[in-house]
Structure 1
């Protein structure tokens, strides 16, 4: 038996500039069929001396949000394994 599933991750980016400095925030979210969901967060800062390349801030903020989301998903899996086996699992 072969099963295919698709999980969609929603990415929201927000940028704030103040003079030569900038901050980019990201929220990466995944929702499950039962209505629960997880949200990962990431942030990147542009130093005033850095070149103005907004894509770099986006990439860093998204990668950090996805890493946070990944950590949370791994924790949920660890809890589910513990519930199923009765033995704690450490990710």
Structure 2
């Protein structure tokens, strides 16, 4: 069966003077909630460019979300097959 699906990721960014935190959240149609977290710390000697902190924190949150989703996939495969699984990264 051919199908086109769309999943949406919500990204929230919080900043203070030298630290940017990002949360990337996904809820699958099956009801699985997965959230990745990313942090970027600015060296106080570097210029204050908020966009760079946002980019780095979001990139790290998305990478963390991806790892958590892969881990959930491994658990699902194991529950279906009854065998330990490892998804290649």
Matched, 1:44 2:40: yes
Identify which of 13, 25, 32 aligns with 2:21. 25
2:10 maps to 10
Please provide the CA RMSD for this pair. Answer: 1.2
Q: How many residues are treated as equivalent by the alignment?
A: 87
Identify which of 53, 61, 67 aligns with 1:65. 61
1:55 maps to 51
Q: Report the CA distance between 1:90 and its aligned residue.
A: 1.7
Distance in 1 (alpha carbons) for counterparts of 2:73 and 2:38? 22
Question: What stretches of structure 1 of length at least 5 have no aligned partner?
Answer: none
Q: Aligned to 1:68, what secondary structure does the other structure show?
A: helix
How does the TM-score come out when normalised to structure 1?
0.89
Q: Report the CA distance between 1:76 and its aligned residue.
A: 0.7
Question: What stretches of structure 2 of length at least 5 have no aligned partner?
Answer: none
1:76 maps to 72
